[in-house]
């Protein structure tokens, strides 16, 4: 186990967003101080989110509206992970999509061809108006005809401004049930997402810390990747939730403001 002093000494920090940096449109306490400490100490860091709704540019603008300036390159989303996965699996990937701008933009950037004519992949992410009964029927039909079902993350819910809101794990479930096929989740806790970020930062897992509010995605995924872990109690999980888990965080704090020395 790694204590808080050892965690502070790590070279790189991967930071979840929902429930760690903000709740919906509300910035959480201590975030500005924590980010100032990271910069002052010369730490490497990336915001790593399972939310596929927003593009990195939109996430940058969203934080700017909360008084935090971070460039788009500071963000890695499950939408980007889905696009990267498609290009690793196929030389000329094609896909049909239920998702918002973040997912569509990520796939376009990686030249994944969008089509409903025998696509190689059926990809599901967070969405609003795109998630309809017709879309679910179409997705189930494409999967039953051979499209490989991918979901950006397995989260059933996430913290919104005023309470929990449905996430991709809940949205893809009807398609799984109708088609009889299980989705492959590319986001956290999939170690592929963590390793992609670590490679981008140029660090080994033993040099990094994952900070998150979800035991099932942030902490489990980081443990399976070999990273140190800090659970913050400002989001999805409580200390009570840790009991009975085969894995557990190295450090538990109330929020990121408690991490700097």
For each of the domains in the chain, give its residue range(s) and CATH number, in order of start: 4-50+188-258 (3.40.50.1000), 78-185 (3.40.50.1000)
Query: In the prediction, which pLDDT does 247 show?
Result: 93
Query: In the prediction, which pLDDT does 91 show?
Result: 94
Query: In the prediction, which pLDDT does 24 show?
Result: 82
Query: In the prediction, which pLDDT does 115 show?
Result: 97
Query: In the prediction, which pLDDT does 163 show?
Result: 74
SS (H, E, C) 67-91: CCCCCHHHEEEHHHHHHHHHHHHCC
Residue pLDDT tens, the chain, 261 long = 899 999 999 999 999 999 999 988 899 999 999 999 999 999 999 999 998 999 999 999 999 999 999 999 999 999 999 999 999 999 999 999 999 999 999 999 999 999 999 999 999 999 888 889 999 999 999 999 999 999 999 988 776 666 777 889 999 999 999 999 999 999 999 999 999 999 999 999 999 999 999 999 999 999 999 999 999 999 888 888 998 899 999 999 999 999 997
CB of 192 closer than 8 Å to CB of 178: no
- DSSP element (H, E) containing 241: helix 239-242
The catalytic residues are: 16, 18
Provide the whole-model pTM. Answer: 0.92
Query: In the prediction, which pLDDT does 159 show?
Result: 64
Query: In the prediction, which pLDDT does 160 show?
Result: 65
Query: In the prediction, which pLDDT does 25 show?
Result: 86
219 SS3 class: helix
Query: In the prediction, which pLDDT does 155 show?
Result: 84
Kindly give, in sequence order, each residue whose CB lies less than 8 Å from that of residue 11, ignoring residues fewer than 6 positions away. 43, 44, 203, 207, 208
Q: Which residues of 68-85 are buried (b: 16+ CB within 10 A; e: fewer)?
A: bebeeeebbbbbbbbbbb
């Amino acid at each position: 186990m790694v204590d808080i002093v050892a965690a502070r000494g790590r070279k790189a920090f991967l930071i979840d967003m929902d429930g760690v940096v903000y709740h919906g449109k509300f910035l959480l306490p201590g975030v500005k101080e924590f980010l100032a400490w990271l910069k002052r100490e010369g730490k490497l860091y990336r915001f790593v989110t399972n939310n596929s709704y927003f593009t990195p540019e939109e996430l940058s603008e969203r934080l700017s509206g909360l008084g935090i300036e971070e460039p788009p390159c500071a963000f890695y989303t499950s939408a980007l992970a889905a696009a990267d996965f498609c290009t690793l699996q196929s030389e000329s990937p094609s896909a049909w999509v239920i998702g918002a701008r973040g997912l569509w933009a990520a796939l376009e950037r990686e030249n994944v061809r969008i089509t409903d004519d025998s696509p190689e992949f059926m990809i599901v992410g967070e969405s609003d108006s795109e998630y309809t009964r017709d879309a679910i029927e179409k997705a189930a039909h494409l999967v039953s005809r051979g499209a490989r079902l991918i979901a950006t993350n397995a989260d059933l819910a996430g913290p919104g401004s005023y309470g929990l809101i449905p996430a991709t794990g809940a949205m893809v479930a009807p398609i799984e049930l109708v088609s009889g096929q299980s989705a492959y989740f590319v986001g956290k806790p999939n170690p592929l997402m963590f390793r992609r970020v670590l490679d981008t930062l140029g660090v080994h897992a033993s040099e990094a810390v994952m900070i998150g509010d979800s035991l099932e995605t942030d902490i489990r995924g980081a443990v399976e990747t070999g990273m140190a872990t800090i659970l913050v109690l400002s989001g999805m999980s409580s200390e009570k939730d840790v009991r009975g888990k085969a894995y557990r965080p190295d450090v538990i704090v109330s929020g990121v403001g408690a991490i700097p020395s």
